[in-house]
Structure 1
Amino acid sequence: MTTKALDRTRPPAAGHRRPPGFINRWRARRAARDAWAAHHRLAQAVTAEFREACTALRLCQYVSVAAGVTVRTPRVGAVHAGPPMSLSVELMAGQEPGDFTSRENGPRLAHSLGGHGLRVEPLAGRWVRVTVLNHDPLRDGFGLPSLAVASGSEPVILGRTEDGITLGHAFTDAGHLGAQGQNGSGKSALFYGLLSQVAAAPDVLVTGSDITGLLLGRAWDGTVHRPHQVVGTADLIAHALLLEDLVAEMDRRLEAIPPRRDRVEPSPKTPTVLVVLEEFPGLLRAADALPKPKRGEGVPVGDRIRSAVLRLLSEGRKAAFRVLMLAQRFEATAVGGGYARDQFALRLSFRVPADSLEMLHGTEARALGQEHANAAPGIAYLSGLGRDCERIRVPYLGEYGEYVDRIQRFGRRAAS
């Protein structure tokens, strides 16, 4: 009996036709097998690279056995090709998710896996998901959408972190906000975005002092906020009077706190008062340059301003007052003293020298100073409210005219 090889260049003979779609199903199964094999090879390569990187970065444990010392690394579960690529990892005893994203380990581990950075999210138990970010999320700016919150308790967009997460901040949270940075570094753009988002909230009142007249002032004409704002340097006493009036309102609220309560609950009748202090050191310098009153004839204007701001910082939290201060440098003498500077729970530093970064964020931030001294506009270091010092990019509202348009569109008007 002889056999004849099947000639696959010719169609099958009559009576031997393959079922319809056979070739397509065969090709699909072959493609699925090839895809699984390629993914399996990728998973093996990623797992090996991850384990080697953990060993090099000492994110491992050394275990003594009879044959010597063996190295134990975090166990890798599933690997997902993405994009972006991610892998599930079981932390070893004593490890924390932050060990993979620290300043010392995060960039090196990410580069070993072929990415720019890492995002680590808890899954269950000791398992976490490690996502490899393909590029720096802060490299590209992101525009602020046209939105306005309905209440001061709703978070406004504060910025985007290096792991691609958008941060929100509610002004009812207990914490004053201080921002420093050189001219053109982006701190005013941050406040354009923040104030435009809360301008319509019925339980928020935007007040304050602005010697430039840009952040506050004419943009707010026609809104309920405008009577509570003072701009320019023509009448510096008016700045002191406004701040003293705010202190008086704070005292009235503190006296009216109901029994068995320790703070004011914001409402349209008692709104959260945002006290914006734009270029506050410049205001103090201008006030200190005024002629000093004679002994017994009054208190210097600069001292009146310092005293009022210090009281708002130290006592305003319970009365629903939040101070938002901008300065080129948060030097103690420039912002009313070291005690005043210490009251800011949320701190942001745009492009500043290393000593200025350390001044606002602590000694651990000094190592970041050399890189941050040349940061692009809109990049800031943020710390406070339970977050370690980390880089963020603040949202970009647009040109100044866009800020004016949004305040005019969303700014709360008096009820008719």
Structure 2
Amino acid sequence: MKWLRREPTAVDLDSAEAQALRDAWDRACRGAGLVRKVDTVSGGTEIVPALALVDLAERALHVRLEPGMTVGDVRGLAPRIAPYLGAWGLRVEPIGNGASVVVTLLQADPLGTGPLPCPDAGPVLIGVDESGSRLIVDDPSSIGHAVIVGQSGSGKSGFLYALLSAYARYKRAGYPIRVDGIDPSGILLRPFPGSVLGFADPGAVEEYLTRAVAEMDDRISRIPANADELPQGYDYPLRVVTVEEYPAVLRYLDAIDPKMGKRIRALVARLLSESRKAGMRVILVAQRADASLIGGFERAQCSFRLSYRSDPDAVKMLHDADPSVIAEHSRALPGIGLLSVPGRSLIRVRTPWLAGEYAEYVRRVNK
């Protein structure tokens, strides 16, 4: 009865889907260059990292990496591999010592499209990552010098409202912290006394930074003989020096007096290179990290780097990432950033946003 055929069972369909993913994985790795090249007597050949398991329920691939491959290699090429697998993107996590990885196929952006509400209690919320994990900071002093960049409307100001209002909350709870800085628009730092707001007196910018450096030198002179940094306390609180739109500050002062602009750069450079051990932190804010204004030295001193939507060249200066990741980020929705911090691979995050925006920010700082 050759005309009688057996209807495929669920097992057959699963097997077919699993084999289709294996075939797609092979094509994807070859197309993206995730291969180990080996010379043989018959010529060169490419070896694709093998699939140890295809988990259809979780839409996950368990992959054995080839010698010399790292988790970072797979993550870097994930944006190029995902389309072959019919996925929006990939989540790559190591197994054990990193010789294998789990590659989860994401059907949609795990960061979603809506804002992340900002809490008014608990630790400082930096954001959530693509796995849904909250990135929090219990002690603000653990955040090093920071550079935060992004085009207008990309979410940069929203994050700063959330961060600085959290610092104000910590201060009310008894944590020794002081926030002030330089703000050309006079909006961001208006709730914080001691800040230089606007450019009515250009000399006030230099005076402010000169005083900050003098305070740093005084603090360094008071570091105990058995310590390499100044203990925090009410006499010497963590001081956060925020420079809003730093490139605009430099351009304005260069136009008025190029020598003053050079002095400002030198003062900021001293704060970045020496003030951490004195219990001080610098936050540089910019729409774009122009190399001529935020150079390699400044970037190297900033261990916390957060980039919102910007042009690829600007993002590339702050993050070590695959070009396809950087290109995709140039179209990111508001509130989505790329975060580089010590000890972690590049993190794609959705950062918190205050409902009520500026009015809520002022209320939280001043309550």
Q: State TM-score, norm by structure 2.
A: 0.78
Displacement after TM superposition at 1:200 (Å): 2.0
Unmatched segments (≥5 aa) in structure 2: 1-8
What letter corresponds to residue 159 of structure 1 in structure 2? Answer: G
Displacement after TM superposition at 1:164 (Å): 4.5
Q: Distance in 2 between matches of 1:207 and 1:366?
A: 36
Whether the aligned pair in 2 keeps the contact of 1:148 and 1:196 (CA below 8 Å) is no
Q: Which runs of 4+ in 1 moved over 6 A?
A: 60-64, 69-72
What letter corresponds to residue 289 of structure 2 in structure 1? Answer: F
**Alignment match of 1:96 (pick from 40, 65, 70):** 70
1:205 matched to 2:178: yes
1:232 matched to 2:203: no
- Residue 6 of structure 2 is matched in structure 1 by none
Deviations 1:275-311 (A, max 9, x none): 110112222333344479xxxxxxx654443332121
* Greater Cα offset, 93-102 or 234-243: 93-102
- Residue 403 of structure 1 is matched in structure 2 by 361
Q: Distance in 1 between matches of 2:24 and 2:75?
A: 13
- Residue 29 of structure 1 is matched in structure 2 by none
- Residue 118 of structure 1 is matched in structure 2 by 90
Q: Distance in 1 between matches of 2:280 and 2:146?
A: 11
Displacement after TM superposition at 1:215 (Å): 1.0
Unmatched segments (≥5 aa) in structure 1: 1-36, 221-225, 293-299, 410-416
Displacement after TM superposition at 1:96 (Å): 3.0
Q: Distance in 2 between matches of 1:92 and 1:306?
A: 47
- Residue 177 of structure 1 is matched in structure 2 by 146
Give the secondary structure class of the aligned counterpart of 1:179: strand
Match runs of 1:227-306 below 5 Å = 227-290=193-256, 301-306=260-265
Give the secondary structure class of the aligned counterpart of 2:277: helix
Displacement after TM superposition at 1:43 (Å): 5.3
Displacement after TM superposition at 1:178 (Å): 0.9
Match runs of 1:318-329 below 5 Å = 318-329=277-288
Give the secondary structure class of the aligned counterpart of 2:297: helix
Whether the aligned pair in 1 keeps the contact of 2:169 and 2:364 (CA below 8 Å) is no
- Residue 118 of structure 2 is matched in structure 1 by 145
Give the secondary structure class of the aligned counterpart of 2:141: coil
What letter corresponds to residue 54 of structure 1 in structure 2? Answer: W
1:54 matched to 2:25: yes
State which structure, 1 or 2, has the greater radius of gyration over its C-alpha atoms.
1
Whether the aligned pair in 2 keeps the contact of 1:50 and 1:109 (CA below 8 Å) is no
Give the secondary structure class of the aligned counterpart of 2:353: coil
Whether the aligned pair in 2 keeps the contact of 1:86 and 1:130 (CA below 8 Å) is yes
Q: Aligned pair count? A: 345
Displacement after TM superposition at 1:163 (Å): 5.0
Q: Distance in 2 between matches of 1:353 and 1:60?
A: 30
Give the secondary structure class of the aligned counterpart of 1:228: coil
Q: State TM-score, norm by structure 1.
A: 0.70
- Residue 339 of structure 1 is matched in structure 2 by 297
**Alignment match of 2:127 (pick from 144, 159, 166):** 159
- Residue 307 of structure 1 is matched in structure 2 by 266
CA RMSD of aligned residues (A): 3.5
Q: Distance in 1 between matches of 2:66 and 2:88?
A: 24
1:394 matched to 2:351: yes
Q: Distance in 1 between matches of 2:312 and 2:100?
A: 37
- Residue 109 of structure 2 is matched in structure 1 by 136
